Structure 1
């Protein structure tokens, strides 16, 4: 027995040694021993000898010592500073030009930079705003194979749709392999409303499984009504499996991995003009640092345009006569409280009222619902339209139990993302939009990669680099390695590492799980930056908001190690707070500004500028715009009034005198004496108790209470309406959201943004 035990231990040790050797070989061979680029890479690929990278880390280490060497995380690579990257981007006269300049730091652009770096090419990337600042951070967060595309492929005998599904299924599998901490499996239920749909969806799902082959996550299966109701108590469904991911953090991980392999990737740098050589071919670009205004030029053998929805702006730099190929489409999503969905299962409804598909998924502790699909104008900061938000809520009401009231005030955040649907400029018929991606080469050799979706970003990047190697006559050292190359944070990650974080840093369980699932093995470095709470528990990790597990250390880490330069970078793309709860984010801004000011040396004037830009961004995330300008001091004062333990979803509680007043008014309007009043008299009842409400707002309240189709209501239903009114009255920042009329009735004008913790 002892021998068997020793053999097992030796076996485990062998596996660990083999894994370590393979990791060392990958980093050593792929990143450091490319002789042709050795000087270039030596400047970038510097590995920190210690996990802890500053004095701040050692403070935390002294407080909470690492207990055993077996629990210590592996050595972490330290990324170069943004200043170092800018110097490399500017280069020197005696240096050879870059092989490729990529414009656009979304998923596709960052993926292309990573792909080129794994092949040993000298590549640079510039992003006008921040990584994932556009569509890449505003997705549905679902990495799916495309069930609807498969349905179209069968019905229309469309081989193109079939290939799209096949590619998406493969890339979904790759997602889970290269970034296991940022992506996870999520069972998806498909509603079945009619008996004939059972065999239809069953055969379709099995065909989907067959198409996925070995790369299937889990086979689909039929759920009986009872089993379905156990998962979704109000639904009768059939089950599929997709994968969820954190899109913005995935984008940042791709960019950081590209940098670790030698790419020069810089955010907040825009291309203002393309440079052409004597032959009329693109050979460089004029760049500008949007933070400092500094300008310079860069020489390169070729340029790839990966700017997503803004593809046509770069194409017009190449040739002002180029026709637009992007047809922007708006996709609106809303965030609801977590009680709207099970924590480990989502829902897909392919039978909405107008034939569109709607997803209903748990994400980051809340519920995400969407999406719409409608033509829109191209803008940097798209705003969600109220009618699209209402459409999503109406669709949710269709498949939830009647006793669950979907209220507009439950919307914690809402945003709009622009899908860059494209027309292929090389096709003879340019009327149709392409759901897959296109690679187009202009007469001046500008390569444009456009279209596609998050799921297929890696395939798009590979195709773009393949084309660049051919067009620019480059000589790569390797073939594409991105199908197996793990992203930053994946090498030392395990599903149980959050337990070690709790044991070694005294973090809350929710915080430790969040750090592990957001940073992978980098969670050690983030936790080491955390400040003591001054409490018995948790020991470290001061929350940015009492409602979410984001901590102050993440802000410091984002600035020091993830190139966060602005307040919006932190609240939207390093943390996801702005996408989860616009109001909670607003309340957290003063604290985040304080931390970033310490890290970046912001002046009071700079703090105000960043606050103003952040609040403008939050208005695009569903935060109501107040009549008076918000200031840092005003937010601090209002936030201090609310208790940390206040339930943001609490229902209004009426005082005895209020109930007596409501009962008196209700009795006066109950002329028939049957305990009901006509809905036509509700506005009168509200006026009697001191509220003046516009008709459209009253309709919204009635819809939320599911009383919009009733001719009359009972007293309990009247109280439901008054509860919705009072919820808004007692919401935070009420002075900014209400018109106070100080007469004897305390009349208030109610805006449409009705809230019970939402916006």
Structure 2
């Protein structure tokens, strides 16, 4: 018997698992696919308050947008403080081509700084044209009036989910990926548990709990309708895509923000794993685990980049692309999705199902805190519980960050790679490597790293490792395919697969890599 069952193993679900476990609750989390397989591994990798939300707040005197930005900036600070091995400060440059844009953009970013208050991570400043070109050499020089440089946070989204779940596991939480929720168990009209199907062991499981939380993001309505088929839908999902290109096309260590695009959104060009990550789009979409990357959206992003930079990027220059579904709450049915806010809601149905949905990655911790506060208030757990402890809680891998950092040889790309993903746990992998047996020499991925994730990080499918634990498929689809055969064979040996199982796992993974990951 659990106190809490969480359905959904993304940012929100993993945050709730940690918060609830820290307070002394007995927690089970089930995820139908791999942890962070959906939206939570497909973000822009920014921990930010939301520059475009601030513009909307000022333009329309929108208090909710203002509050969202302020909350995001506070939570940005906490991500950087509590997960230093997975996050850091990033400078971003916004090139400007009209004189009137300078005071408008500059004053907006100064306000962004002011809202950060004592949690500021850097002051915005104006750069004249020559300094702009020095910091962003590929920016279009014709009619360039200068730029504004500001600071935000960056982080590794998929690895952050694993760090949160490893932290929760240390506290006793039970965590099951590739375990699909099937139906609720009812007693006297109230939900008292769930039935789920373990897709690896091919068995149906039954779990009982005092409280069940739906933290499935874009899939929230699907779960809600399992509890009450007649309930009104609350989600309005939108799809955002990203493309990845070689850094040589946009050679800078700064991020770049394109402030004016065809649909009024901002587009970011960000350094990520020695590549450039470009995104994102915004179109209404159906909810699916592997959303499609369309040619139209790719052309849209290429058009924005080529408009602002001295490049002639074409589709063949793209190393990889991926799409995610935003869990937007449908508070304004007539507005385009680009205009919907990233607010979250918490709901309790008469049958006792609790749903948390909406929001964005940066505010995952706050969303989790509010959800656990909510269930503590609305359910009788009959035990003294601690208050929220996640404000200052160093996540798994960052607990001995400073000490471990002194032991790393950053001139060694293998050690640098392992530290960036595993933090203080990387020493275990480094010490196990006598002579590297590379799965990908290009990205310093070794057999020992794969074995570590198999033993410690719930890796059960080849793409769990290639797409999410290492993110190679997100930045270089060709190399991901090159890694697949050896990855599958090592996993087969470790997990006891026969030749048919190895072939089936390889074929299934290759089909996904050839399509939409």
Question: TM class, shorter-chain normalised?
Answer: over 0.9
- Report which of the two structures shows the higher radius of gyration computed on alpha carbons: 1
Q: What are the Cα deviations for residues 651-682 of structure 1, in whole angstroms up to 9, with x where unaligned?
A: xxxxxxxxxxxxxxxxxxxxxxxxxxxxxxxx
Distance 2:341 2:194 in 1: 29
- Normalised by the length of structure 1, the TM-score is 0.65
Distance 2:418 2:375 in 1: 37
CA shift for structure 1 position 494: 2.8
Match of 1:359, SS? strand
Q: Which residue is equivalent to 2:117?
A: 213
Match of 1:254 among 155, 158, 164: 164
| Structure 2 residue 151 is the aligned partner of structure 1 residue 241 | yes
Match of 1:527, SS? helix
Distance 2:397 2:221 in 1: 35
Q: Which residue is equivalent to 2:234?
A: 325
Distance 1:508 1:219 in 2: 30
Larger displacement relative to structure 2 (486-495 or 211-220): 486-495
Match of 1:332, SS? strand
| Structure 2 residue 485 is the aligned partner of structure 1 residue 590 | yes
Q: Which runs of 5+ in 1 are unaligned?
A: 1-96, 533-540, 623-759
CA shift for structure 1 position 621: 4.4
Match of 1:470 among 374, 377, 384: 377
Distance 1:615 1:383 in 2: 16
Q: Which residue is equivalent to 2:355?
A: 448
Q: Which residue is equivalent to 2:212?
A: 303
Q: Which residue is equivalent to 1:490?
A: 398
Contact 2:52 2:265 in 1 (8 A): no
Q: CA 1:471–1:100 in 2, change beyond 3 Å: closer, same or farther?
A: same
1:710-721 alignment, distance < 5 Å? none
Structure with more contact order per residue of length (Cα contacts < 8 Å, sep ≥ 6):
2
Match of 2:84, SS? coil
Match of 2:163, SS? helix
Q: Which residue is equivalent to 1:563?
A: 458
Match of 2:256, SS? strand
Distance 2:268 2:16 in 1: 29
Contact 2:136 2:252 in 1 (8 A): no
Match of 2:460, SS? coil
CA shift for structure 1 position 560: 0.5
Q: Which residue is equivalent to 1:528?
A: 431
Match of 1:232 among 136, 143, 152: 136
Q: CA 1:430–1:389 in 2, change beyond 3 Å: closer, same or farther?
A: closer
Match of 2:479, SS? helix
CA shift for structure 1 position 423: 2.4
Q: Which residue is equivalent to 1:715?
A: none
Contact 1:135 1:417 in 2 (8 A): yes
Q: CA 1:501–1:398 in 2, change beyond 3 Å: closer, same or farther?
A: same
| Structure 2 residue 16 is the aligned partner of structure 1 residue 107 | no
Distance 1:311 1:609 in 2: 31
Match of 2:88 among 175, 178, 184: 184
Q: CA 1:523–1:614 in 2, change beyond 3 Å: closer, same or farther?
A: same
Q: Which residue is equivalent to 2:343?
A: 436
Match of 1:413, SS? strand
CA shift for structure 1 position 127: 0.7
Match of 1:416, SS? strand
Distance 1:215 1:516 in 2: 26
Is the strand fraction higher in 1 or 2? 2
- Normalised by the length of structure 2, the TM-score is 0.95
Distance 1:147 1:434 in 2: 12
| Structure 2 residue 281 is the aligned partner of structure 1 residue 378 | no
Match of 1:152, SS? helix
Match of 2:502 among 607, 623, 632: 607
Q: CA 1:360–1:312 in 2, change beyond 3 Å: closer, same or farther?
A: same
1:141-220 alignment, distance < 5 Å? 141-220=45-124
CA shift for structure 1 position 215: 0.5
Contact 1:579 1:621 in 2 (8 A): no
Q: Which runs of 5+ in 2 are unaligned?
A: 140-145
CA shift for structure 1 position 513: 1.0
CA shift for structure 1 position 620: 3.2
Match of 1:274 among 178, 184, 190: 184
Q: Which residue is equivalent to 2:142?
A: none
Match of 2:366, SS? helix
Contact 2:255 2:271 in 1 (8 A): yes
Distance 2:384 2:247 in 1: 48
